[in-house]
Amino acid sequence: MFVVSALMMASYGVWSSSFALYALKINDGLEANTMEYGIMMAFIAIGALIGSELISRHRLHARGFILICLSSICIFLLPISCIFSKNKILIIIMIFIYGISLSAWNIVAVSYRQKFIPHHIFGRINGVYRTVSWGFMPIGALVGAGIVEKFDYQAAFGISALISIFQIFALPLMKNIQRQYQ
C-alpha cells in the first residue's frame, strides 16, 4: 500500500505543479483567469466531499479493492485529459471525478489499515504511511516543475500519467496482501 500511495501522490505532485501553469497559460494552455483556476481547483474538494458521502453509503456494496482500482484509473485519466483537451468544462469534470476518487481511495485505505495493522503498532505504521505518501507529493511537484521548465506541460502530464500507470501495475501487490489476511 505504501508503494501505491507514494506513486499516487507523486503523480498528483507532477500534475499539480504543471496544471497551475497550464491552466493560466495563454495560447497553449486553458487560458483560464485566476477565478476560473480557483473554481477548477475547488472541484477537487467538491468531488471529495460528494465522494466521501457516496462512498461511505455504498461501500458495503462494492469491494474495497475494486474501489482502489477505479480510483487509480481515475487518477490516471486526469493528466491524460489535460494532454488531449483544452476544454475547461471537461477538465473541471475530470478534476471533480479525481476528487471523488480521492475519497474512495482514502476511505478504503484507512479502513484497510485499521483492519489489518495490529493495534499496538497502528500509530507508527500510520505515521510512516502518511510520511511516505505525503512526502512524495512535493517530490512530484519538483519533478513536474523541472519537466515543464525543460520541456512543456504535455511532457509533465505524460510523466504524471506514466507514474499513475506504475501505480496501477502495483495494485496486484495490494490484492496479494489482502488475500493473506482473509
pLDDT of residue 133: 84
Q: How many domains does the chain have?
A: 1
Say which residue, 7 or 88, is predicted with more confidence. 88
The residue range of the domain holding 126 is: 2-180
Q: For 45-56, what is the HEC assignment?
A: HHHHHHHHHHHH
Q: Are 157 and 18 in contact (CB under 8 A)?
A: yes
Instruction: Find the CATH number of the domain harbouring 76.
Output: 1.20.1250.20
pLDDT at site 54: 87
Q: Which amino acid is at 22?
A: Y
Q: Considering Cα of 79, then 83, then 86, then 90, what sign does the dihedral take?
A: negative
The confidence score (pLDDT) of residue 62 equals: 59
Output the nine-digit C-alpha cell for 182: 482473509
For residue 103, the surrounding DSSP H or E stretch is: helix 88-116
Neighbours of 22 (CB within 10 A): 23
Residue 76 confidence (pLDDT): 93
* pLDDT of res. 141: 93
Exposure string (b/e) for 125-141, b if CB count within 10 Å is 16 or more?
Answer: eeeebeeebeebbeebb
pLDDT at 61 over 60: no
**Using 50, 70 and 90 to split pLDDT, how confident is the model at 111?**
confident
Which three-class secondary structure state does DSSP give residue 175?
A: helix
pLDDT band, residue 67 (cuts 50/70/90) = confident
Cβ–Cβ < 8 Å for 3, 130: no
pLDDT computed for residue 177 by the predictor: 54
Residue-wise pLDDT for 119-178, tens only, equals 999 999 889 988 988 899 999 999 999 999 999 989 999 999 999 998 888 878 766 655
- How does pLDDT run across 33-48, given as a tens digit for each residue? 999 999 999 999 999 9
